[in-house]
Structure 1
Amino acid sequence: MTTSANSRLDAALLASMPVLFVALWSTGFIGAKFGLPHAEPFTFLFIRFVLTLALLIPLVKVMGGAWPGNWRLRGHIAVSGLLVHAAYLGGVFYGIYLGMPAGLTALLVGLQPLLTATLAGPLLGERITAIQWLGLALGLVGIAMVLGSKLDPGTASFQGFGLGALACVLVALAGITLGTLYQKRFCTGMPLLSGTVVQYLSAGVLLGLGALLLEERHIEWTATFVLTLGWLVLVLSIAAILLLMALIRRGEASRVASLFYLVPPVTALQAWWLFDERLPMTALVGMAVTIVGVVLAARGQARR
């Protein structure tokens, strides 16, 4: 193969990597939907983190990755892990466990860039631009359209899922938002791979305690559950992290960030195909409005 052909192949692979990353990332919500009928949320996540750490720790040694330099940084990374993994994934999994549709879950937690851009002002001293305020307004209008289409005025509850499920997903949104801000403020020197190990350790301990104290810890070791668990560990927790590392090294992280806006509609499409989850036209329009708002808010932050 000629040098020019190799260059074109490398360029094609590089161009496809951000799309592949987001496509894989969106399956996390689908994996929760497949696995949760067979295990309770905290139990499911605890097993996932234990298996992930069993693979990730040797991988750090093989790849020669550096560990966080001091205990203070490790402590900050552990706190970010409690927010980014324990609160976020725990909220997502419990919300889906309680009946929240996977597509709607992805949309709600997909507000994270919008909420992060808004809170960066008071928490990090960053100025909020007019574009960000417009994005926030559009995001709220879009979410109102989506949730309004599920609201039953007669019972003041949501069709197909309860307010508890909504509360869990809002906890997930708060966790990923505050975790992002905390990591940006206190974990700037975090090595990605070994730092992820520290995050998974702290999150695994908390989720393990949650499973011990709040759940029966019964697991149905069906083929569906085993395959789902394998996918979440190998593809989401390992392969996606390695792919992200490769993208960051190649300077493509910004493309990944922009493509994250496609996660909610991609998840909704997968959920429709696999589980026949349907959203009315009002909700679909609201999803589009919300995504536009998130894009405006994130781009307004990037241009400052």
Structure 2
Amino acid sequence: MPNSEVIRKPKSRFHINNFPWAADIILLLVALAWGSSYITAKTVLNNYEPFMFLFYRFLLTVLIMLPFTWRNLKKASSETWITGVIFGLFLFSIFSFETWGIHYTSASNSAFIISLTLILTPILDWIVNKKFTGFTFFMAVGLSIIGTGLLTFKDTILFNIGDSLILGAALLRATQMTFTKKMTEGKVLDSSALTVIQLGVVAVLSGVFSLSAEGTSLFHIPQSLEFWLLTLYLALFCTIFAFFAQMVFIRRTSPTRVGLLMGMEPVFGAFFATLIGGEILTSINWLGGICILGATFWGRYLLDRRLKYSTP
């Protein structure tokens, strides 16, 4: 009997696992997209109610994604649907707090306060997953918090209802990032189906709350071209790309590192607020941006070092 040969396909050079920085780069792009979302949403909310805006934003998002994910949705397991609904409730809460917060405060304040996710994420990761990152890491997080303070420093600090809502969104974000990894670890879940399900939950709940809380007729479709262009941008880049990328790549890194990379969000937020919103940043504000950049890469180094020495 002749010897049989087992033919194996060569592994692709471009497999994601061959590029350890790929997850970080993608998540950094997510931070850029979300940073631009503050001034974009602020512009829309000048003329439209928050829940009505959320309804059209997420309805548009789901409609764009459906042709590409319909088969995945039909084949999705009950576990995927249950997880998606839970994540959708988280997401609706986050966006409700954020959108109403932006409605009542400035884009720069929003970008600063949401960055408190940085310090809340490792604390929750420590409590839930029993993973203490180390006191040195908290020094990097502290530098990032100081940097965001300098970045958005004005003559006075006024903590209003909008700021309180953004703070609540930061806590919800940290909770979501911590439990996303915990709830998906070891499970076979379709990322595209999971994303559409949770975004669909946000669209439905936003419509319900718009009708009940705002008295808005959702059948009165906005006629403004600016509304649809800005909403389309938020749907494509700040929602579809950002959340699908986070859903995929958060499982390739730790919740703490995700939180740290999101620390770039207020830098991008301040940049777009200056470029588009006409806000003026002083030399102190830019010094804060440099502190955040330094803290981000310092924290990355500390996490890599800890992983290196903890691996047998």
> Would you call these one fold, judging by a TM-score over 0.5?
yes
Match of 1:43 in 2: 52
1:231 has 2:230 as partner: no
Give the structure 2 partner of residue 126 of structure 1. Answer: 131
Q: Which range moved further: 108-117 or 139-148?
A: 139-148
Superposed counterparts of 1:261-276, under 5 Å: 261-276=263-278
**Residue of structure 2 in register with 1:180 after alignment:** 177
Task: Quote the offset at 1:125 in angstroms.
Answer: 1.0
Which structure has the bigger radius of gyration? 2
Partner of residue 109 from structure 1, selected from 108, 114, 136: 114
- How many residue pairs align between the two structures? 279
Q: Which amino acid aligns with 1:168?
A: L
Q: Write the letter of the residue equivalent to 1:206.
A: L
Which structure 2 segments of 5+ residues have no match?
Answer: 1-12, 14-21, 308-312
Matched with 2:223 is 221
Correspondence 1:70 to 2:78: yes
User: In the superposition, relative to structure 1, how do residues 148 and 227 fare at CA in structure 2: closer, same or farther (>3 Å)?
Assistant: closer
Root mean square deviation, CA, Å:
3.8
Q: How does 1:27-176 map to 2 (within 5 A)?
A: 27-61=36-70, 64=72, 68-71=76-79, 73-83=80-90, 85-101=91-107, 103-145=108-150, 149-151=154-156, 158=158, 163-176=160-173
Separation in structure 2 between the aligned mates of residue 33 and residue 177 of structure 1, nearest angstrom: 23
Q: Structure 1 147/240 Cα, relative in aligned 2: closer, same or farther at 3 Å?
A: closer
Supply the distance in 2 between the matched residues of 1:214 and 1:134 (Cα, whole angstroms). Answer: 43
Structure 1's 294 and 118: CA in aligned 2 closer, same or farther, altered over 3 A? farther
* 2: CA distance, partners of 1:70 / 1:214: 32
Which position in structure 1 is the counterpart of 2:197? 198
Please, which moves more after superposition, 274-283 or 221-230? 274-283
Maintained 8 Å contact 2:267/2:292: no
Q: Is the 8 A contact 2:191 2:244 kept in 1?
A: no
Tell me, in whole angstroms, the C-alpha distance in 2 between the residues paired with 1:53 and 1:23: 22
Q: Is the 8 A contact 2:113 2:166 kept in 1?
A: yes
Alpha-carbon distance, 1:225 to partner = 0.7
Change (3 A) 1:289 1:104: farther
- Report the CA distance shift for 1:285/1:68 in structure 2 as closer, same or farther (over 3 A): farther
Unmatched 5+ stretches in structure 1: 1-6, 8-13, 153-157
CA distance in 2, matches of 1:295, 1:210: 41
CA 88–186 in structure 1, closer or farther in 2 if over 3 Å, else same? same
CA deviation digits over 1:182-232, x for unaligned, max 9? 111112333221111121122233333332232242675312111111222
For the 8 Å contact 2:118–2:141, the answer to whether it is kept is no
- In structure 1, C-alpha distance between the alignment counterparts of 2:124 and 2:246, rounded to whole Å: 25
